[in-house]
Amino acid sequence: MSSIKTRQIIACVAVAVLASVAGNFLVAAAIGNEVIVCAQNSTGKLYYRQNQQCAASSESSIMLNQTGATGLVGAKGATGATGATGATGADGGYPSTITVKEITVTHTVQASDAGSLLLANSGVVIFLPTNSAVPIAIGTRINLANRRNFVTVTPNSGVTINLLASSISFDSGNFQYGTLIKLSADDWAFMSSPDEFP
């Protein structure tokens, strides 16, 4: 029988003997406390002493239930799978690019003009239809610009611009810029930039 196995059997026997001699030993072992037992040098008998103090001249102390050193940290596990993609958020504010639509004749605003730039090369008239004729979402923004002459925005009957039922034009001059914003079913706001070029 190997020496290792012999020591294991002796340790088991020692625990069993201590359990029968001192009933509170197993309780101490179960909660991880270190326990000192005394071995009589002349006979080899084991004793459990309440004060854990062995006689220095006739006994040797044996410590049981010792805690070993902490082991090394294990290797890091593999990275888990990527989670599902979240829902797409709402569109941001003013876009970095817009669609430019060249207009050369009278133009009636359409829902497809939303977010676009209506660019006139010469003086033209832009009509704002009633919501019943051309449904356009409230909050729609339409940009206007002209290269030369002027642009006139004219509301159809029942439509107002800046609370007025009359036409509004850019200031005279080239390269003017303005914006239409639909405020309610048949009410629009028109804002134009000041003259910057002759």
**Where exactly are the structural domains of the chain?**
3-64, 100-192
Ordered DSSP codes for 138-170: TT-EEEEEESSS-EEEEEPTT-EETTBSS-EEP
Is the predicted pLDDT of residue 164 greater than 50, yes or no?
A: yes
Is the predicted pLDDT of residue 65 greater than 70, yes or no?
A: yes
From the list 69, 67, 71, 49, the residue with the least C-alpha distance to 58 is: 49
* pLDDT confidence bin for 28, thresholds 50/70/90: very low
CA angle 161, 163, 164 (to 5 degrees): 65
* pLDDT confidence bin for 194, thresholds 50/70/90: low
Give the H or E element holding residue 4: helix 3-21
Beta-carbon contacts of 90 under 8 Å, excluding residues fewer than 6 positions away, are none
Q: Which CATH architecture has domain 100-192?
A: Sandwich (2.60)
Largest CA distance in the chain: 124
pLDDT of residue 67: 79
Residue with tokens 């072992």: 29
End-to-end Cα spacing for the chain: 111
pTM, full prediction:
0.52
